Amino acid sequence: MRVVELWRYPVKSLGGQRLQTVEVGAAGLFGDRGWGIFEPSTGTVLTARRVPDLLFASARLEADDELVITLPDRTETASDAVLSAWLKREVQLVKPTGAEGATYENPMDVENEADWVSWQGPGWSFHDSRRSALSIVGTESLGPRDIRRFRTNVLVEGGGEDALVGHKVRLGGALLNITKQIDRCIMVSRAQPGIDRDLGVLKDIIRTRNNLFSVGALVVEGGTVAVGDTFGAAADA
């Protein structure tokens, strides 16, 4: 299994950046889900489940690790006031506290986007799950779909990623513990630049894959990962 693409999403639910090489640490790819857009009035970190327009902005880290958000009108910012004006609600750009995780929401009734439930993510990043700091999918599983729908960090050549669950693998300079298959939500159906809204994507994953698509990993040892790196032999976790 060889890495063919690397993706980092610095701000929760905003578009991300494609990389050639990246440092991996305990929180996953350096800077990945390192910021969230917090709404004080609801106490939640906004996601494109509730605010689909988020996907039409993007975020990147410059060479000096400065965060830059590009809005749909091409404005570049990291200002709470500018983000609040764009979203028409008061918001704050925040980093993880390291203690209590952020609160997120998801509709259980995807047809009507109703029956919302909430949960808390990890305190160390704005990932959804405490059991996953980075995600991996194979080209065979992805097929013709755009990887940006799934916001997966690592695209590998071929398939068989599901069989890695429960094992440790070395990827570049990092050692990963593949902990879980990732369950999917309304996010994968959302429109974003160059991608149409398509609820059929989620329905197909529910029907053919029991709503599980890509695998999640925790980082045992950090290191550098680059396009072209291959997975080492799996060993029992």
Identify the sign of the CA torsion 42, 51, 104, 177.
negative
- CB of 171 closer than 8 Å to CB of 225: yes
Give 192-201's long-range contacts (Cβ < 8 A, gap of 24+): 192/15, 192/55, 192/56, 192/148, 192/149, 193/15, 193/55, 193/56, 194/146, 195/146, 195/148, 195/149, 199/110, 199/111, 201/145, 201/149
Q: How many other β-carbons are positioned within 10 Å of the β-carbon of residue 217?
A: 28
pLDDT in tens, the chain (237 residues): 899 999 999 999 999 999 999 999 999 999 999 999 999 999 999 999 999 999 999 999 998 899 999 999 999 999 999 999 999 999 999 999 887 889 999 999 988 999 999 999 999 999 999 999 999 999 999 999 999 999 999 999 999 999 999 999 999 999 999 999 999 999 999 999 999 999 999 999 999 999 999 999 999 999 999 999 998 765 554
The β-bridge relationship of strands 21-25 and 223-226 is: antiparallel
Q: Is 139 helix (H, G, I), strand (E, B) or coil?
A: helix
Percent of the chain with pLDDT over 90: 90
At residue 233, the pLDDT reads: 62
- DSSP, collapsed to helix, strand or coil, labels residue 144 as coil
Question: Using one digit for the tens of pLDDT, what is the confidence trace for 158-211?
Answer: 999 999 999 999 999 999 999 999 999 999 999 999 999 999 999 999 999 999
- Residue 186 amino acid letter: I
Tokens of 133: 């700091």
Superfamily the domain 3-230 falls into: PK beta-barrel domain-like (2.40.33.20)
Q: How many CA atoms lie within 13 A of 220 on its CB side?
A: 14
What kind and span of H or E run contains 6? strand 3-8
d(CA 101, CA 111): 28
d(CA 95, CA 153): 19
Residue 154 in tokens: 């690592």
Instruction: Yes or no: say if 21 and 227 are a contact pair by the CB < 8 Å rule.
Output: yes
Predicted local distance difference test score (pLDDT) of residue 237: 47
Q: Closest by alpha carbon to 37, among 106, 72, 88?
A: 88
The pTM for the full model equals 0.94
